[in-house]
């Protein structure tokens, strides 16, 4: 099945489909950069509040796609795949039989390209066994925030990121992709160990101290899935919320509630709550706000998974994803003078 976790802002999970690629990325640029060989550079469209890129798909476009570390493979919206006349075969469903289930299909291969710029010649690769399913419940609301820029037609994740070192600079709104073998760490970078689990999901070790009615509770530690397709900070996994009885409807600090939308259209509710501290390795954030799931939302089969790290937790930093060496680098963004 398909390794993906996605919703707004909490997301749902499928199990691995073993997505593969038939070739290495292609990049003809010989020009280097200060930190290594720059393969491609792509502007980030932050209008939807997420990391949206303009990529060429199957020789057409560019098309808007969501970059999501919570997806270990590329996923295309079914309506868009039909427009490209991509051949598909049934691959079961997500969510079980009956109401709420979503049929999943697979297309044999899709050519994915990042266009050339003045700084780099671009990058392209062919991915095989690409998932095709309806993404309207998730991507439609994102695209509606900037309708003049067109629809968001798919999700790209691990199958791109495993090939490169990716620098995500939200202040400059740029994604820079480097050759892993030549990459040199930026000065002042904070290194956080990262593993790939359950078919390619990036996982960090971390902990947090929740507050309940103003008083700190015991520190909760475990694995945190890095989910940069979501714009929350730290979202606490539903089983962890249940185990530690974190929801307190009588706590005025937990009065703000919300809900995400899963791929099958079901609602994934949550409640905002304060935390004294969130810690991931040497990275620490004090006086934070966390999201407590108040119902099942789905997750990959990762042992001791306690939560999900979104883009908001890492704001103020350039985020560097180095899947090949199992590292997440955080580079503080200096204030503009």
For 262-316, write each residue's pLDDT tens digit: 666 667 789 999 999 999 999 999 999 999 998 887 788 899 999 999 999 998 8
pLDDT value of residue 95? 52
Best-predicted range by mean pLDDT (3-7, 115-119, 212-216): 212-216
pLDDT at 99 over 60: no
Question: Domains of the chain by range and CATH?
Answer: 4-21+33-182 (2.40.70.10), 190-332 (2.40.70.10)
pLDDT value of residue 126? 93
User: Between these two residues, 90 and 257, which has the higher pLDDT value?
Assistant: 90
* 6 neighbors 14 (Cβ within 8 angstroms): no
pLDDT value of residue 166? 96
Q: Dihedral of the CA atoms 248, 296, 260, 207 (nearest 10)? A: 60
Prediction pTM value: 0.85
**Mean of pLDDT values over 322-332:** 95
Q: What is the pLDDT of residues 10-68, one digit of tens each?
A: 233 322 233 333 344 433 333 335 789 999 999 998 776 789 999 999 999 899 999 99
pLDDT value of residue 192? 97
pLDDT at 319 over 60: yes
What value does the mean pLDDT of the chain take?
84
Q: What percentage of the chain has pLDDT greater than the value 90? A: 62
pLDDT value of residue 205? 98
Q: What percentage of the chain has pLDDT greater than the value 70? A: 85
Separation of alpha carbons 240 and 123, rounded Å: 40
Quickly list H helices, 110-183.
Answer: 136-143, 158-161
pLDDT at 123 over 60: yes
Count the Cβ atoms, other than its own, within 10 Å of residue 289.
16
Separation of alpha carbons 40 and 73, rounded Å: 20
The band of 77, judged by pLDDT with boundaries at 50, 70 and 90, is very high
Separation of alpha carbons 302 and 67, rounded Å: 21
pLDDT at 93 over 50: yes
pLDDT value of residue 108? 96
Separation of alpha carbons 66 and 279, rounded Å: 27
């Amino acid at each position: 099945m398909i390794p993906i976790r996605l919703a707004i802002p909490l997301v749902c999970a499928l199990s691995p489909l073993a997505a593969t690629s038939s070739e290495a990325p292609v990049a003809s640029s010989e020009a280097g950069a200060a930190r290594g060989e720059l393969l491609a550079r792509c502007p980030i469209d932050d209008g939807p509040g997420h990391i949206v890129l303009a990529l060429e798909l199957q020789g057409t476009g560019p098309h808007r796609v969501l970059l999501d570390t919570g997806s270990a493979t590329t996923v295309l919206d079914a309506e868009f795949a039909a427009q490209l006349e991509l051949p598909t075969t049934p691959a079961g469903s997500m969510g079980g039989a009956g109401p709420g289930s979503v049929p999943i299909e697979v297309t044999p291969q899709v050519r994915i390209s990042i266009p050339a710029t003045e700084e780099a010649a671009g990058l392209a690769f062919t991915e095989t066994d690409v998932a095709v399913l309806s993404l309207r419940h998730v991507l439609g609301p994102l695209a509606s925030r900037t309708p003049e820029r067109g629809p968001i037609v798919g999700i790209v994740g691990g199958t791109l990121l495993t090939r490169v070192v990716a620098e995500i600079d939200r202040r400059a709104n740029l994604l820079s992709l480097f050759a892993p073998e030549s990459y040199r760490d930026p000065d002042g970078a904070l290194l956080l160990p990262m593993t790939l689990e359950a078919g390619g999901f990036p996982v960090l070790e971390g902990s947090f101290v929740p507050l309940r009615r103003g008083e700190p509770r015991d520190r909760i530690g475990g694995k945190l899935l890095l989910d940069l397709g979501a714009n929350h900070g730290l979202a606490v996994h539903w089983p962890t919320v249940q185990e530690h009885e974190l929801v307190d409807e009588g706590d005025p600090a937990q009065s703000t509630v919300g809900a995400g939308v899963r791929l099958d259209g079901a609602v994934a509710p949550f409640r905002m709550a304060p935390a004294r501290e969130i810690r991931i390795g040497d990275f620490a954030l004090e006086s934070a706000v966390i999201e407590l799931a108040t119902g099942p939302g789905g997750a990959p089969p990762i042992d001791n998974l306690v939560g999900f790290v979104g883009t908001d937790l890492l704001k103020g930093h350039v985020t560097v994803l180095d899947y090949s060496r199992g590292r997440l680098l955080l580079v503080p963004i200096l204030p503009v003078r």
